[in-house]
Amino acid sequence: MSPEGVYEYVWGLLGPIARIDLQNPANARYYVLDGLGHVRMLVSPSGNPTDAYHYDSWGNPIPTSTESTRQPFRWNGAFGYEYVAFTGLAHENAREYLQEMRGATRFGDL
């Protein structure tokens, strides 16, 4: 994982498009999103892939060996879904949810 730092995120219509390292701008990463706004890959300024992200049918992350950049946006960045590893919760807009509760519409869906 990359060290803690000061980052600024640039947003586009579908979600984040860039992560700028304010302490070392050459360490910027650019987001590759799919048509639904899910973060699929990060690339370096030279265009080389640095991280790849995969998800199951419900948006749960599938761990890969190609995640080296610490960043909060994963599944559906367009809507502000952010996984917070410290709490183990998904931050969605103004609420926190357990990953397994995302998408549940009724109590019986759990």
**Per-residue pLDDT tens digits for 88-103:** 777 666 677 776 655 5
CA gap 98, 100 in Å, rounded? 5
Q: Are 109 and 100 in contact (CB under 8 A)?
A: no
Question: Looking at the domain assignment, is residue 29 inside a domain?
Answer: yes
Question: Looking at the domain assignment, is residue 51 inside a domain?
Answer: yes
Per-residue burial over 74-97, b if 16 or more Cβ lie within 10 Å, else e, is bbbbbeebbbeeeeebbeeeeeee
| Full residue range of the structural domain in which residue 31 is found | 7-109
> Which residues of the chain fall short of a pLDDT of 50?
1-2, 105-110
Question: Looking at the domain assignment, is residue 2 inside a domain?
Answer: no
Question: Looking at the domain assignment, is residue 72 inside a domain?
Answer: yes
Domain count, the chain: 1
pTM: 0.65
Question: Looking at the domain assignment, is residue 18 inside a domain?
Answer: yes
Question: Looking at the domain assignment, is residue 1 inside a domain?
Answer: no
